[in-house]
């Protein structure tokens, strides 16, 4: 039987106890067992505050998944040209409520080249949004309400193939216009790889090797300690000669997450394009005394690769460069 509050008898004290435990931090994240490494993965940014009735976006790391599972009955338009080295990084969809046809859904596509360069495309049905016939460019001067990201040059808006498009990124206006011209409807076909979908090498390097190579600029030393590569991803253990103290002050007995070291680097194999992070993960890191250990994921490396190089340009606001070259040779397996 329910009481006057609508709760079952005896539930009110339980709710109060749970609320007190939450306030005290007793029901927070689990503490790693003794001996287990504690690794922090930074979030992409501050958590978004949802509107009263938010359409919840979904995310995907594969264009094929978007075409097959999200856009059933809808043909997405995709860029068939991007500058060399760009790959699809992440897709999103915001479903329209009260419409089961999928015809009013909004799709987003993020393409990246290394860590610093990016292109973001949004397309929404033209019958629910208005857009110019010819591409119109709005320069990002920080006051026009465009998507604010570091190195954004502006946004291009236009319509075509039943969609309203918005294209932004670190590309020049001329490059954006070339990408816009290349947009074409790309229907899903089983076994067909969409344009700029990342594909791993046919014969990846499998290794677990000690590296222990470092570079010093000014008073800061950066060392690559090890490299572990599988068919899916390579992970480098990097030690930054800089501490990561707690990011803010907290009451006694409460732990604060460490400061994010914010390393910026490009990884290349044999002097080629910047390597891609196919896992979509952020960098894992943990403080160790006066240093910070970073676990950096990059795409698999072909087994015939000879040299893996990394150039750190900036760490925690300190400018480099710190350049490290790692010989790979033609050897596979553990070494």
The answer, as to whether pTM is greater than 0.95, is no
Residue-wise pLDDT for 180-222, tens only, equals 999 999 999 998 999 999 999 999 999 999 999 999 999 999 9
* Secondary element (H or E) of residue 201: none
> Band of the pLDDT at 15, cuts 50, 70, 90?
very low
Are 218 and 280 in a shared domain? yes
Here the contacts of 267-271 (C-beta below 8 Å, separation 24 or greater) are 267/114, 267/236, 267/296, 267/298, 267/308, 267/309, 267/310, 268/308, 268/309, 268/310, 268/311, 269/301, 269/302, 269/305, 269/307, 269/308, 269/309, 270/305, 270/306, 270/307, 271/307, 271/309
Is position 159 within any domain? yes
Q: Is residue 74 part of a domain?
A: yes
CATH code where residue 67 lies: 3.30.200.100
331: its two tokens: 């050897």
> Range of 267's domain?
207-334
Residue 285 belongs to a domain: yes
What pLDDT score was predicted for residue 141?
65
Answer whether residue 85 is part of any domain. yes
Tell me the CATH number at 250. Answer: 2.60.40.1640
Q: Can you tell me the distance from the alpha carbon of 167 to that of 253, in angstroms, rounded to the nearest whole number? A: 47
Indicate the number of domains in the chain.
2
Q: Under DSSP, is residue 179 helix (H, G, I), strand (E, B) or coil? A: helix
Does any domain span residue 82?
yes
Whether the CB-CB separation of 138 and 152 falls below 8 Å is answered with no
Lowest-pLDDT range of 50-54, 163-167, 174-178, 278-282 = 50-54
145 and 262 both lie in a single domain = no
| Whether residue 228 is found in the same domain as residue 174 | no
Q: Is 14 a member of any domain?
A: no
Each residue's pLDDT tens digit, 43-53: 544 454 444 44
Which of 151, 185, 219 marks a domain boundary? 185
Following CA atoms 229, 230, 233, 234 in sequence, which dihedral angle do they give, to the nearest 10 degrees?
A: 0
- Does 34 reside within a domain? no
Instruction: Mention every residue, 6+ apart, whose C-beta is less than 8 A from residue 29.
Output: none
Q: Do residues 155 and 232 both lie within one domain?
A: no
Neighbour-count burial for 287-313, b at 16+ CB within 10 Å, e otherwise: beeebbbbbbbbbbbebebeebbbbbe
Residues 177 and 214 in one domain: no
- For the cut 90, the answer to whether the pLDDT of residue 287 exceeds it is yes
Is there a single domain that holds both residue 180 and residue 230? no
Residues 99 and 143 in one domain: yes
Clarify whether residues 179 and 262 are in a common domain: no
User: Is the pLDDT assigned to residue 288 strictly greater than 80?
Assistant: yes
Q: Report whether pLDDT(147) > 70.
A: no
163/237 same-domain check: no
Task: Give the span between the Cα atoms of 151 and 143, in whole angstroms.
Answer: 15
Three-state DSSP state, 184: strand
Closest CA to 105 of 120, 121, 97, 94: 94
DSSP class of residue 68 equals I
Q: Within this chain, do residues 72 and 125 fall inside the same structural domain, yes or no?
A: yes
SS3 of 91-144: the string is EEEECCCCCCCCCCCEEEEEEEECCCEEEEEEEEEHHHCCCCCCCEEEECCCCC
The answer as to whether 44 is a domain residue is no
Could you give the dihedral angle defined by the CA atoms of residues 28, 30, 31 and 32, in that order, rounded to the nearest 10 degrees? -160
């Amino acid at each position: 039987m329910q009481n006057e509050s609508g709760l079952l008898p005896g539930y009110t004290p339980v709710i109060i106890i749970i609320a007190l435990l939450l306030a005290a931090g007793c029901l927070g994240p689990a503490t790693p067992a003794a001996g287990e490494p504690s690794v922090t993965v930074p979030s992409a940014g501050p958590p978004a505050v949802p509107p009263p009735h938010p359409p919840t976006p979904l995310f995907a790391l594969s264009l094929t998944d978007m075409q097959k599972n999200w856009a059933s009955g809808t043909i997405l338009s995709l860029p068939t040209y991007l500058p060399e080295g760009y790959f699809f990084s992440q897709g999103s969809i915001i479903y329209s409520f009260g419409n089961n046809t999928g015809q009013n859904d909004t799709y987003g596509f993020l393409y990246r080249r290394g860590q610093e360069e990016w292109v973001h495309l949004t397309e929404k049905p033209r019958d629910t949004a208005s857009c110019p016939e010819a591409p119109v460019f709005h320069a990002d001067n920080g006051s026009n309400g465009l998507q604010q990201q570091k190195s954004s040059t502006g946004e291009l808006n236009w319509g075509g193939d039943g969609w309203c498009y918005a294209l932004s990124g670190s590309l020049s206006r001329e490059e954006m216009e070339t990408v816009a011209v290349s947009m074409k409807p790309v229907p899903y076909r089983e076994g067909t790889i969409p344009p700029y979908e990342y594909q791993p090498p046919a014969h990846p390097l499998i290794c677990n090797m000690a590296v222990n190579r470092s570079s010093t600029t000014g008073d800061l030393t950066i060392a690559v300690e090890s490299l572990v590569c599988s068919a899916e991803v390579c992970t480098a253990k990097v030690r930054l000669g800089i501490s990561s103290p707690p990011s803010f002050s907290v009451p006694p007995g409460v732990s604060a997450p460490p400061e994010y070291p914010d390393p910026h680097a490009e990884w290349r194999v044999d002097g080629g394009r910047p390597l891609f992070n196919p896992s979509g993960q952020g960098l894992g890191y943990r403080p160790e005394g006066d240093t910070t250990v970073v676990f950096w994921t990059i795409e698999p490396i072909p087994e015939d690769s000879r040299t893996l190089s990394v150039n750190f340009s900036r760490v925690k606001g300190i400018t480099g460069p710190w350049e490290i070259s790692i010989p790979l040779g033609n050897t596979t397996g553990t070494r």
